[in-house]
Structure 1
Amino acid sequence: MFTQALVRAPSSNFAAGLTRENLGVPDHALALRQHAAYCDALRRCGLDVHELPPDPRHPDATFVEDTAVLLPRCAVLTRPGAPSRAGEVEAVGQALRAQGLVLQQIEAPGTLDGGDICEAGEHVFIGLSARTNAAGAEQLARCLAAAGYASSLVDVSDISSILHLKSGLSWLGDGRLLLIEALAGHPAFAGYDRIVVDSDEAYAANAVRVNAHVLVAAGYARTTARLREAGYAPLELDMSEFRKMDGGLSCLSLRY
């Protein structure tokens, strides 16, 4: 059960952030409305939402998930793989320490983005990607092992359609994963019940289980229907402006 979430609204220069997409320039006013709706959904799921102020020094700072990995027995500040994002971590660390969290830190030469880390109960999948390298993954694995968690590496660096592991994978609880076709046959996921997202709805694979609900991007009817058929309560949220900047639902909050 999550009780808290940390978020940061997009700054006025959000469009200057990093992206591999070619979906047009994000509308800042619309992004703010979508972000507010996202925060409202977290509150509906029972979370207290703590909001950091927008940070125009770092246009990608709204994607707070990449700055930390938070599990019940292990909390780690990351070292983002994009150099322009390095300055985002300090403010997040200050906010989390103010709430009593004891934080470890990924150190150079390791790089690690939170979007590459998928907690699945007592097991954690660590993605190797353009943003998370082997040194960062090994450091996190040691932190997790010391806290009693098992982990495994999933190399997604050759899957061009996703930036991070969680761009194509979500933990739904109940021994079940939501994932894209390119990950469905990976041996790391063989022991799990898998809901495979159709290729034309791949963006919907980045969903977020938050207590009794699953946040899912709006506009992906077949994926939402499969979640309902599996017994989940989806909350659909418009993510159009964040998708333009390589972002998904999980990216917009740290949940703990």
Structure 2
Amino acid sequence: MLTHALVRPPSANFADGLTSVALGKPDVARALEQHACYCAALEQCGLVLTRLAADADFPDSAFVEDTAIVTGDVAILTRPGAAARAGEVARIEPTLRAIFLRIHAIATPGTLDGGDVCRIENHCFIGLSERTNEDGARQLAGFLAQEGCTSTAIDIRGIRGILHLKSGISYLGNGRIALIDAFAQHTAFRNYEIVQVARGEGYAANLLRLNDHVVIAAGFPKFEAAVRALGYDVIALDMSEFRKMDGALTCLSLRF
């Protein structure tokens, strides 16, 4: 059961962050409202929040998930693949050291973004992407093995429209995974029940299973109906301003 989460609100210069999409500049005031709703949803799902201060030195720093992999009593500090985000790890490290008993860290020449790691029970899928390289994935696999967790690397380079692995896959629990079309036939997922995301609704593949709830992005009616039909208690949140900056639901918190 998840009990805690770390969150950081967008800074005033959030619109200066990195993005690979052409959806216009985010409205920072609206992003702050959406972040507040996001935090309220996490609390509704039973999580106690540690709220970090906004950090204008790093416009992308609201996406705290990219800075660490957290599992059990362990935090694995990442090494973001975008040079502009490198300093975010040092900013969050003291908070993580105060919470977790053991700390590992990805070292050069490895790069790793937390958004490229999807944990399904005691197994992690690690995306090889523009932000996560083979060496980073290898180091992470080694740290995970020390903690009794297995892993599989999935190469997503060349798949259009997704920045991270979790742009196209999320775990719903109960042996079910939500997948975009590009992953639906991948042999790595053959032992799971697949909830395929409809064409045109790919953004909805990034979701949060939080205890008895599933939090999804609002505005994707086919996928929302499919998730509700499976009996989940669904919370739908407007993520428009974060989507403009390549962000999604999982990006905005570290949950443990």
TM-score range, shorter chain: over 0.9
SS in 2 for 1:199: coil
Which runs of 5 or more residues in structure 1 are unaligned?
none
Mapped partners of 2:233, 2:192: distance in 1 = 20
Mapped partners of 1:35, 1:58: distance in 2 = 17
SS in 2 for 1:195: strand
Q: CA RMSD in A?
A: 0.8
Q: Is the 8 A contact 1:207 1:249 kept in 2?
A: yes
1:138 equivalent in structure 2: 138
Q: Is the 8 A contact 2:73 2:101 kept in 1?
A: no
Q: Which runs of 4+ in 1 moved over 4 A?
A: none
Matching residue's letter, 2:29: A
Identity %: 55
Mapped partners of 2:107, 2:215: distance in 1 = 32
Q: How many residues align?
A: 256
Matching residue's letter, 1:136: G
Say yes or no: does 1:219 pair with 2:206. no
Q: Structure 2 vs 1, CA of residues 244 and 75 (structure 1 numbering), >3 Å: closer, same or farther?
A: same
Matching residue's letter, 1:152: T
Q: Is the 8 A contact 1:74 1:143 kept in 2?
A: no
Mapped partners of 1:232, 1:91: distance in 2 = 36
1:85 equivalent in structure 2: 85
Mapped partners of 1:151, 1:6: distance in 2 = 24
Q: Structure 2 vs 1, CA of residues 73 and 149 (structure 1 numbering), >3 Å: closer, same or farther?
A: farther
Mapped partners of 2:201, 2:243: distance in 1 = 13
Residues 74-113 of structure 1 mapped to structure 2, 5 A cutoff = 74-113=74-113
Q: Is the 8 A contact 1:74 1:144 kept in 2?
A: no
1:185 equivalent in structure 2: 185
Q: Deviations along 1:180-229, whole A, 9 cap, x unmatched?
A: 01111111111100000012110000001111111100011111111111
Deviation at 1:100, TM superposition (A): 3.8
SS in 2 for 1:166: helix
Q: Is the 8 A contact 2:75 2:100 kept in 1?
A: no
Matching residue's letter, 2:95: A
Which runs of 5 or more residues in structure 2 are unaligned?
none
Which deviates the most, 26-35 or 67-76? 67-76
Mapped partners of 1:173, 1:154: distance in 2 = 20
Q: Deviations along 1:81-122, whole A, 9 cap, x unmatched?
A: 000000000121111112244211000000000000000001
Residues 110-189 of structure 1 mapped to structure 2, 5 A cutoff = 110-189=110-189
Q: Is the 8 A contact 1:73 1:147 kept in 2?
A: no
Q: Is the 8 A contact 1:67 1:79 kept in 2?
A: yes
Residues 212-251 of structure 1 mapped to structure 2, 5 A cutoff = 212-251=212-251
SS in 2 for 1:170: strand
Mapped partners of 1:94, 1:2: distance in 2 = 21
Normalised by the length of structure 1, the TM-score is 0.98
1:252 equivalent in structure 2: 252
Q: Is the 8 A contact 2:170 2:205 kept in 1?
A: yes
Which deviates the most, 97-106 or 142-151? 97-106
